[in-house]
């Protein structure tokens, strides 16, 4: 999916220098023809035919296509007036809608609100490969719930959680629920991680010190150091001790980053778990350069590699790519040599340049006036198309784009 443009400017502002000192192999790539987006093969009716009379605003926040189920999911949100004043948070009416991937007709919708019940304060959604949608929701009455909605739009189950949490689907299709955690007077953070199976059964749970930074594949990365007190409250130390847990929720290894190394970036992707359980963590050192640290499945530090400070990084599952100054380079974890390198035409955009994995396992690179879809194995082009007419949110899968334009969903097949 490529839905959330990433702003990479903070990396470049904070970190002034950085270099890759490895020679690039000379692959030849044919000049790409940038094609315009095709006319939609279908356009849905309005996504907000069910708009509430008192809605302040409406929007679509998510699109996810699932060809195996012939469905396209859209997450819609309506802003609802806060009538109690018991919380300063905005209230929302969140709905999951499913559209027929061939015709664009809506098949069902599921709203996270019962009549006269509480509205949501925030939500987080996971779209599984088998059609089930898992939704975490924090409600205006102070409750927290995890919903499982099947591909027919019916509720499988709902679990009440004890507090604010994040959710992630792990390698074995279990759901990780990580609590937000609490901090004591000494800055010690305590949180809970739990795993549920697809039927909603609790598999295991563990109280841990710290909070989850990233969960992916079969690894859970936790920042375990105490917080520091300042005039505004608590803040994380830039060089924490990191604990890494496995699917059994047992601690597999720890690593203490040196004092001059900060592991927190600008919010873009900076931590990855590869298919072989290698963990990659991007860092900045002495506010001057970036480096990726790699830990093997047993937690041994394999290497640290310098990368340009203003670059964008992304996992390929078996390695990683680095995009900087219109150059894309592909690496694996066993060698420092560049496996493939190519220049991408088109000017980067300060606010909207990003590299993301698509739903079908390829790479999407969004530039100022065009978007590339690349093979992650060799960086060759699958598609490159003009993106000025592309609205957000959207999704790409199997040579097709599904995009929300104003209040409708459209399907566009790429040439």
- In which band, very low, low, confident or very high, does the pLDDT at 115 lie, cut at 50, 70 and 90? confident
| Confidence check: pLDDT of 27 > 80 | no
User: Topology of 9-413 in CATH?
Assistant: Methylamine Dehydrogenase; Chain H (2.130.10)
Mean pLDDT of 285-298: 93
Contacts of residue 115, Cβ cutoff 8 Å, sequence gap at least 6: none
- Which of 10-14, 297-301, 358-362 has the lowest average pLDDT? 10-14
pLDDT confidence of residue 16: 24
CA–CA dist 383, 36 (Å, integer)? 11
Q: Which pLDDT does position 232 carry in this prediction?
A: 87
**Residue 349 phi, psi (nearest 5):** -110, 135
Rounded to an integer, what distance in angstroms lies between the CA atom of residue 204 and that of residue 207?
11
144-149 and 133-139: which strand pairing?
A: antiparallel
Average pLDDT over residues 270-280: 97
CA-wise closest residue to 77 among 361, 407, 409? 407
Quick one: pLDDT at residue 208?
98
Please list the residues that pair with 323 across neighbouring strands.
312, 328
Q: Give the pLDDT score at 411.
A: 97
The model's confidence at residue 20, banded by pLDDT at 50, 70 and 90, is: very low
pLDDT tens-digit profile of 162-183? 999 999 999 999 999 999 989 9
Residues 240-265 have pLDDT tens digits of 999 999 999 999 999 999 999 999 88
Could you report the per-residue pLDDT of 194-205, keeping only the tens digit for each?
A: 999 999 999 999
Please give the average per-residue pLDDT across 263-291, as a whole number: 91
Q: Residue 23 has what pLDDT?
A: 36
pLDDT at 30: 61
CA distance 124 to 135: 6
The pair of three-digit structure tokens given for residue 55, joined into one six-digit string:
């809605």
Distance CA 270, CA 77 (A): 29
Cα gap 383→142, rounded to integer Å: 46
Domains in the chain: boundaries: 9-413
Higher pLDDT, 56 or 351: 56
pLDDT over 90 at 340, yes or no: yes
pLDDT at 99: 98
Q: Which residues of 238-263 are buried (b: 16+ CB within 10 A; e: fewer)?
A: bbbbbbbbebebebbbebebeeebbb
Read off the pLDDT of residues 279-288 as tens digits, 9 standing for 90 and up.
999 999 987 8
Nearest 5°: the CA angle 178, 95, 141 is: 60
Question: Taking 90 as the threshold, does the pLDDT of residue 31 lie above it?
Answer: no
SS3 21: coil
CA–CA separation, 36 and 388 (whole Å): 9
Per-residue pLDDT, averaged over 221-249, amounts to 94
- Per residue in 399-415, pLDDT tens? 999 999 889 999 999 98
pLDDT confidence of residue 29: 63
Which ranges of 221-267 would DSSP assign to H, the alpha helix? none
On the question of pLDDT at 231 being above 70, the answer is yes
As a whole number, the mean pLDDT across the chain is 90
Give per-residue pLDDT as tens, 38-85.
999 999 999 999 899 888 999 999 999 999 999 999 999 999 999 887
Whether the Cβ atoms of residue 15 and residue 289 lie closer than 8 Å to each other: yes
Predicted pLDDT at 7: 41
Q: Cα–Cα distances in Å, from 41 out to 37, 197, 375, 411? A: 11, 38, 25, 6
Q: What is the mean pLDDT of residues 313-317?
A: 97
């Amino acid at each position: 999916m490529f839905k959330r443009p990433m702003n990479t400017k903070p990396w470049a502002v904070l970190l002034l220098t950085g270099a890759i000192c490895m020679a690039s192999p000379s692959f030849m790539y044919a000049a790409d023809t940038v094609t315009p987006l095709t006319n939609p093969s279908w356009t849905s009716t309005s996504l907000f035919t069910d708009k509430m009379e008192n809605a302040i605003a409406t929007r679509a926040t998510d699109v996810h296509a699932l060809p195996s189920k012939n469905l396209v999911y859209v997450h819609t949100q309506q802003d609802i007036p806060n009538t109690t004043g018991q919380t300063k948070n905005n209230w929302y009416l969140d709905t999951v809608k499913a559209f027929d991937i061939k015709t664009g007709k809506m098949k069902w919708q599921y709203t996270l609100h019962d009549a006269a019940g509480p509205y949501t304060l925030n939500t987080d959604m996971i779209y599984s490969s088998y059609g089930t949608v898992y939704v975490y929701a924090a409600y205006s009455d102070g409750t927290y719930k995890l919903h499982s909605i099947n591909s027919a739009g019916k509720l499988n189950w709902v679990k009440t959680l004890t507090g604010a949490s994040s959710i992630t689907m792990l390698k074995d299709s279990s759901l990780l629920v990580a609590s937000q955690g609490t901090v004591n007077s000494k800055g010690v953070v305590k949180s809970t991680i739990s795993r549920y199976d697809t039927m909603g059964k609790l598999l295991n749970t563990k109280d841990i010190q710290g909070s989850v930074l990233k969960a992916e594949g079969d690894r859970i990365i936790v920042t375990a150091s105490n917080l520091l007190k300042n005039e505004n409250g608590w803040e994380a130390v830039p060089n924490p001790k990191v604990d890494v847990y496995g699917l059994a929720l047992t601690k597999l290894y720890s690593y203490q980053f040196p004092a001059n190394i900060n592991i927190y970036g600008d919010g873009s992707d900076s931590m990855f778990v590869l298919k072989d359980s290698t963990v990659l963590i991007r860092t900045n050192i002495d506010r001057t350069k970036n480096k990726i640290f790699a830990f093997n499945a047993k937690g041994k530090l394999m290497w640290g590699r310098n990368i340009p400070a203003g670059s964008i990084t992304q996992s390929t599952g078996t390695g990683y790519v680095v995009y900087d100054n219109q150059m894309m380079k592909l690496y694996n974890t066993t060698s420092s040599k560049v496996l493939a390198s190519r220049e991408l035409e088109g000017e980067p955009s300060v606010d909207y340049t990003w590299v993301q994995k698509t739903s079908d396992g390829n790479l999407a690179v969004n530039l100022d006036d065009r978007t590339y879809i690349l093979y992650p194995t060799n960086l060759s082009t699958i598609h490159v198309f003009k993106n000025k007419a592309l609205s957000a949110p959207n999704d790409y899968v199997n040579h097709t784009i599904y995009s929300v334009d104003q209040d409708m969903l459209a399907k566009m097949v790429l040439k």
